[in-house]
Structure 1
Amino acid sequence: MMLAKHLTLLSVSIAVSILPSTANTTKLYGTKPTESVWQVTIDTPVKCRVEHMILNFGNAMFTSRANKKINLDLELEMQRPMGQIEDVALLSMPAAWMPGESAEYIDRLHFYKQFNGYVDGQTAWSILAVLEDGRFPTFSFREWQNREKRLNVALSPVSFQQSYNEFNSCINRLLKYSFEDIAFTTLHYNKNGDTLNQSSIIKLAQIAEFIRYSPDINLVFFATYTDNHGAKADNQRISERRAEELKDYFVELGLPKDRIGVEAFGERRPIAENESPIGRNKNRRIVISLGRSIT
């Protein structure tokens, strides 16, 4: 009875606000209040995700990733992708237990042919705010197979709050740097030693932390270099030893050996003159490159 009342109110409100008053022009996809489930499915320092199943339509996935800036996107994973580009009205719809409240316009979007629906930035945050207020964020667009029919896809706020709290806690624990920030990193050693300088130790720890929680990183490549102080053969051995030490470090983190590549160049390929301490410091370096699979 409650579901029927809710569906009626939702359909009527949308029809009044944006649709012509033609019977049987609207089909609603949503989830019964008794079956509404929100679940945090990813909770790591590099990615957070909360998901909601939309009965007979697909899945809504909010995702935030490690980055210098707080970010959010919503992917509306559809069982049947769009057959053509569609204009989409995004509305905030009142629940059945909100008598007298009306539909509110949020934004106008585009869903693209053969792609899932996608929303990011401020609009994605607005959708979460609508859910937290107990209202139904609703995507309304024409059915591409039947231009006389309009589809309304609603996210339910029922059982949302607890998972949303967990999702926010995950976002607060995200690393404050992204894959792009560490994908190509140069480290430097202290003079006359095998220890990295302080800033390089911090960078290496960041790379290790990111890799620990990122199974999609499929390659870590190290290139080690020395300055030309000392015998050339000795510098080559130093370079090789440093490369192997780094390899062992990442193997201990759990990275498979077949995903690690190393090359020791010794004093070859300097990037600065070796006549000055500053130049030699630049040449005593490790370059770490990360490769990532596309998912």
Structure 2
Amino acid sequence: MTRQQLKIMRRLDLGLPALCLLMFLCFLLVGRAEAMRYEAGFDKANWESESSIFECRMSQMVPDYGQVVFYRRAGEKQQFFLDTKTIFFKRGRGALQITGPVWKPRSPVQNLGYIDVVESKRPVTLGPKLSERIMSELGKGQQVVITRKPWYGANESLSVAFNSLNYRPVYDNYLSCVAGLLPVNFDQVERTTLHFGGSKETLSKQQRASLDRIVIYAKADNEVTTYYVDGHTDSRGIMAENLELSKKRAEQVADYLLRAGLDKNKIQVRWHGERYPVASNRSPKGRAANRRVTVRLEKGEPSMDVASR
């Protein structure tokens, strides 16, 4: 407290108890100005998990702030992110720290470095390396703190902290979920392109592996209603022969999907010959891109589109 503030108090003729109380209140106000912290207390700290073969999620609710989330989608690597109710952080670089649990306030602080922060309702997203490190520290009973200045430009910092209370059993459930994820997600198999060489119409080992990925996903997701198989060629040769070649290629792919166990009524086979190039037929590279069969998965109501004949 400054000398000027003490002089003012003497002039106000404050007694010792009142003076002590006023000093304590000033201390609280100064501390509030230096940092604002969001965290779940002992009575509210709780980890939750959501599991399916498509995605796994583990989160802790931070009162008045939002959620801290570990997330893994089928076919992708794990990530960590903050999911907030409104915009809190200013864009820039924030600090990521590991501290001791709340019941050990004097534990040493580990600085994991600076992380990118954006001005949005998902201000922080971390990749697999840092998210795994955070998980490891929570497993040791540590606390994680993310600090950055608030979006409204004030000088004080703003922190979000989350702890390991009730973490271990939920973490075990999360790991079980991750172990049972599909190897691919819908976005990865929604549209697959298989390229063919020259007049070739048989499937290679690599092409069969790509189709196997589609089959694995499609058998697990009953929301997939249609599999569109479209055959194409380049423009070399006779048009009628190209149309027939595109038919053979498309039927080869459709037969593979059918033998793998997909519903025949959901497979729509179409062939277009040289009609729909995706590149110029004037170069070998362009012609190679045009010799293809595409497999497209669709969810929802089946399309009324009629197959080309």
- 1:23 and 2:31 are equivalent in the alignment: yes
Equivalent residue for 1:43, pick from 43, 52, 64: 52
- 1:94 and 2:111 are equivalent in the alignment: no
- Residues 217-250 of structure 1 deviation map (CA, whole Å, 9 limit, x = unaligned): 898542135999xx95994896598399569959
- Residues 249-290 of structure 1 deviation map (CA, whole Å, 9 limit, x = unaligned): 59x868996xx865213688899xxxxxxxxxxx99632245
Q: Counterpart of 1:50 in structure 2: which amino acid?
A: M
Identity over aligned pairs, percent: 19
> Cα 1:202–1:268, aligned 2, differ >3 Å: closer, same or farther?
same
Q: Conserved in 2, the CA contact under 8 Å of 1:88 and 1:111?
A: yes
- C-alpha distance in structure 2 between counterparts of 1:285 and 1:64, whole Å: 33
> Cα 1:59–1:248, aligned 2, differ >3 Å: closer, same or farther?
same
In structure 1, the gaps of 5 or more residues are 1-20, 272-282
> Cα 1:50–1:220, aligned 2, differ >3 Å: closer, same or farther?
farther
* Secondary structure, aligned partner of 2:31: coil
- Residues 15-71 of structure 1 deviation map (CA, whole Å, 9 limit, x = unaligned): xxxxxx942222221112232222222431x4322122111100112112334xx72
Q: Which has the larger radius of gyration?
A: 2
* Secondary structure, aligned partner of 1:23: helix
Equivalent residue for 1:63, pick from 71, 74, 84: 71
- 1:161 and 2:172 are equivalent in the alignment: no
TM-score by length of 2: 0.62
> Cα 1:109–1:264, aligned 2, differ >3 Å: closer, same or farther?
same
Cα drift, residue 79 of structure 1: 0.8
- C-alpha distance in structure 2 between counterparts of 1:113 and 1:32, whole Å: 26
Cα drift, residue 132 of structure 1: 0.9
> Cα 1:264–1:65, aligned 2, differ >3 Å: closer, same or farther?
same
Question: 2:86 maps to which residue?
Answer: 80
Cα drift, residue 212 of structure 1: 4.8
TM-score by length of 1: 0.65
Matched positions, count? 255
Q: Counterpart of 2:139 in structure 1: which amino acid?
A: E
Equivalent residue for 2:151, pick from 137, 144, 147: 144
- Residues 192-225 of structure 1 deviation map (CA, whole Å, 9 limit, x = unaligned): 99x9666544432211223455699898542135
Question: 2:272 maps to which residue?
Answer: 265
Q: Conserved in 2, the CA contact under 8 Å of 1:183 and 1:288?
A: yes
- C-alpha distance in structure 2 between counterparts of 1:135 and 1:255, whole Å: 54
> Cα 1:243–1:268, aligned 2, differ >3 Å: closer, same or farther?
farther
- Residues 93-113 of structure 1 deviation map (CA, whole Å, 9 limit, x = unaligned): 211333642222122122112
> Cα 1:35–1:183, aligned 2, differ >3 Å: closer, same or farther?
same
